[in-house]
């Protein structure tokens, strides 16, 4: 198949390891036309046959490109009507935690101190989050995370206790904090649930984070699950607002 475009005004699509598959190149070009405003939200893009002719590619290549953009929520196929540019869906915004990951991933400048680690009987709240009976033994741990010498996260964790569990051993390592959010290097966690809520720092928490109780703070509550879908750990991360921020992007971005 010749995926070159006979129209010199349009970019040339070619099979190249450096440029990636032709359908990915085409998806990028269609996305660029959306970002430029040529195809605005709610409008119908040209038919597959028209796109095929414009770029000199096979219909199957066009369909693959549209499928890529549809999977990203950029395009929407309507049976019998065509393919339309999606409007931004404000109800499905997800907030990224790049600020946390950038620091947790920089091992050379990261320091994690265990403030407290002990076996204890599960309180009703801890037992509920771990789906166990109150009074069962669990591992409780408090960690302070510092970046370039400055504390920025306080972590309280509850883990189901099993002396043979690799999860407990893994959680005692500094790398577990990074893998908790990303899943990288962690073979014990199937999925995690994160929730964000504003909070007020206690005196002891403010002292550990070297800030004051007057500074607004965020608490990121989490529960992570094993491959049997039972929760194996829960807890929270606490950070003062001046050391952590959250953002989200909605719609089609050109980078």
* Residue 118, φ and ψ in degrees, nearest 5: -155, 160
Domain count within the chain: 2
pLDDT in tens, 23-64: 999 999 999 898 888 998 889 999 999 999 999 999 999 999
Give the pLDDT confidence score for residue 227 in this predicted structure: 79
Does one domain contain both 136 and 197? yes
Give the pLDDT confidence score for residue 127 in this predicted structure: 93
Q: Is residue 142 part of a domain?
A: yes
Q: Is residue 71 part of a domain?
A: yes
Does one domain contain both 202 and 219? yes
What distance in Å separates the CA atoms of residue 14 and residue 206, rounded to the nearest whole number? 58
pLDDT in tens, 82-113: 999 988 766 555 666 667 777 877 888 888 88
Q: Is residue 221 part of a domain?
A: yes
Structure tokens at 219: 């608490």
pLDDT in tens, 219-255: 988 888 877 888 888 989 898 877 666 666 676 665 5
In sequence order, the β-bridge partners of residue 193 are 223
Give the pLDDT confidence score for residue 40 in this predicted structure: 87
Of 202, 197, 194, 255, whose CA–CA distance to 224 is shortest? 194
Does one domain contain both 139 and 207? yes
Does one domain contain both 29 and 149? no
What distance in Å separates the CA atoms of residue 159 and residue 127, rounded to the nearest whole number? 10
Does one domain contain both 139 and 77? no
Does one domain contain both 144 and 124? yes
What distance in Å separates the CA atoms of residue 23 and residue 35, rounded to the nearest whole number? 18
Which CATH number do you get for residue 178? 3.40.1410.10
Does one domain contain both 224 and 152? yes
Give the pLDDT confidence score for residue 1 in this predicted structure: 42
- Residue ending a domain, among 50, 66, 90, is 90
Can you tell me which residue has the tokens 């005004």? 9
Q: Is residue 12 part of a domain?
A: no
Domain range for 117: 98-243
Q: Is residue 152 part of a domain?
A: yes
What distance in Å separates the CA atoms of residue 25 and residue 47, rounded to the nearest whole number? 18
pLDDT in tens, 138-185: 989 899 989 999 998 999 989 887 766 655 545 555 445 666 665 555
pLDDT band at 8 (very low <50, low <70, confident <90, very high): very low
Where residue 210 falls (left for φ over 0; alpha for ψ -120 to 50; beta otherwise) is left
Does one domain contain both 218 and 139? yes
Does one domain contain both 106 and 228? yes
């Amino acid at each position: 198949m010749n995926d070159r475009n006979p129209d010199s005004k349009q970019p040339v699509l070619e099979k190249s390891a450096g440029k990636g598959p032709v359908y990915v190149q085409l998806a990028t070009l269609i996305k660029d036309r959306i970002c430029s405003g040529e195809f605005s939200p709610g409008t119908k893009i040209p038919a597959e046959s028209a796109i095929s002719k414009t770029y000199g590619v096979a219909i199957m290549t066009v369909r693959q490109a549209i499928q890529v953009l549809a999977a990203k929520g950029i395009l929407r196929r309507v049976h019998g009507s065509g393919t339309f540019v999606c409007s931004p869906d404000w109800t499905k915004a997800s907030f990224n935690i790049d600020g946390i990951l950038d620091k947790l991933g920089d091992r050379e400048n990261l320091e994690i101190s265990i403030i407290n680690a002990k076996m204890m009987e599960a309180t009703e709240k801890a037992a509920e989050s771990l789906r166990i009976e109150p009074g069962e033994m669990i591992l409780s741990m408090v960690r302070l995370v510092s970046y370039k010498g400055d504390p920025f996260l306080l972590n309280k964790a509850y883990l189901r206790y099993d002396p043979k569990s690799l999860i407990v051993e893994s959680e005692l390592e500094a790398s577990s904090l990074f893998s908790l959010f990303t899943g990288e290097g962690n073979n014990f966690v199937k999925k995690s649930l994160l929730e964000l809520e504003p909070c007020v720092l206690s005196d002891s928490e403010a002292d550990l984070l070297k800030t004051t109780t007057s500074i607004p703070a965020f608490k990121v509550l989490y529960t992570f699950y094993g491959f049997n879908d039972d929760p194996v750990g829960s807890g929270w991360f606490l950070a003062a607002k001046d050391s952590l921020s959250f953002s989200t992007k909605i719609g089609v971005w050109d980078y």
